Amino acid sequence: MTDALPPLRFKTQFKERIWGGQRIRTLLGKDFSPLPNCGETWELSSVPGSVSQVEAGPLAGRSLIQALETYGAELCGARLWETHGPQFPLLVKFLDAADDLSIQVHPDDALAQKRHGCAGKTEMWYVFAADPGSRLISGFREPVDRAAYQKAIAEDRLPSILQSHPIAPGDVFFLPAGRVHAIGKGICLAEIQQSSDITYRLFDYHRVDAKTGRERELHTDAALDATDFSPVAELRTRYEPRLGESVTLVRCSYFHTRLAWFDRPMPRTFDGSSCTIYINVSGSATVRNGAGSVDLAFGECCLMPAHAGHWTLEPKGETKLLEVRVE
């Protein structure tokens, strides 16, 4: 076993999107020049073509995959290393929706593996900024079957059968694979998802891509077998944040996300089965273990190695961090 590894911060990757805006720069303080807009930042990724690189410290310049290949279970955890090896199973993003995103759905593991040879996409959202009147779509307004759904698609009225939710900062939504959804204009959020970039676009408001002069491709046929039509009574995640505690937001087969809300040092200890991801959604803090520390400003992310054992979250005023463990 090597000496304990310090918490790791990775270089932000900026993604221009047709619906992207400027708040990655103005709100999170991240310069995405020379891009004209930024819809997504990828903070922690092992997706081919977009693998994260360590920003500073003893592993600076190494990719996430190279770091995992070198340190194995000491970095990601014994259980995680046994099941996933050097392929990190989660993807962490920040999103800025200056316009409505397309209405979409993601396949589950079985369908994604069959069609694309990769994992499916279950995800969750934590809203940290929202314009007055902002809304997002999650699930159907009432029970529908495949025939009613296909009829709505054919008649170009899919939004009319979907549930639109008013949004406020602090709102949490869990979106299992198969849930039809869309982020609305004026929303900034943190997204935690399986490491997959497979999206089936169902409706795009007849928006024309300025680069191509055409509407973007829809995937309505491919999406049919991916869509879950089961009714869901409560689509918004209910939780009660408590100052000085870390409370569960979402726990599923892929990740366990808590919200740590604190204004004084918070000691943390976990077993070595999984590493821990910290995502700053309010305030500022230092994440420190015996091998080093990382300062986390609003909109920054770090990875605490599984071998860390004990560490401390040290706030600079009242702070909220998403605390994510891989299940």
Range of the domain at 25: 13-224
Nearest to 59 by CA among 294, 322, 309: 294
CATH number at residue 318: 2.60.120.10
- Is 110 within the bounds of a domain? yes
Q: What is the pLDDT of residue 108?
A: 97
- The reply to whether 320 and 209 lie within a common domain is no
Instruction: Chunk the chain into consecutive blocks of 10 residues (it has 327) and report each block's average pLDDT, rounded to whole numbers.
Output: 80 97 98 98 96 93 96 92 92 98 97 95 98 96 92 95 95 97 98 96 93 93 93 89 97 97 96 93 97 96 91 97 95
> Are residues 64 and 229 in contact, defined by beta-carbon separation less than 8 angstroms?
no
* Number of independent structural domains in the chain: 2
C-alpha distance from residue 257 to each of 200, 254, 276, 283 (Å): 26, 10, 10, 18
Query: What is the pLDDT at residue 1?
Result: 43
Domain presence at residue 267: yes
Q: Are residues 252 and 214 in the same domain?
A: no
Q: What whole-number distance in Å separates Cα of residue 195 and Cα of residue 79?
A: 17
* pLDDT in the model for residue 271: 85
Bridge partners, 324 (sequence order) = 257, 277
- The residue length of the chain stands at 327
254 to 145, 275, 278: CA distances (angstroms): 28, 13, 16
Q: 239-260 in b/e burial notation, b at 16+ Cβ within 10 A?
A: eeeeeeebeebbeeebbbbbbb
Q: Give catalytic residue positions.
A: 201
Q: Are residues 115 and 57 in the same domain?
A: yes
Q: Please indicate, yes or no, whether residues 101 and 212 belong to a single structural domain of this protein.
A: yes
State the pTM of this model. Answer: 0.95
Pick from 257, 271, 259, 264: nearest CA to 285: 264
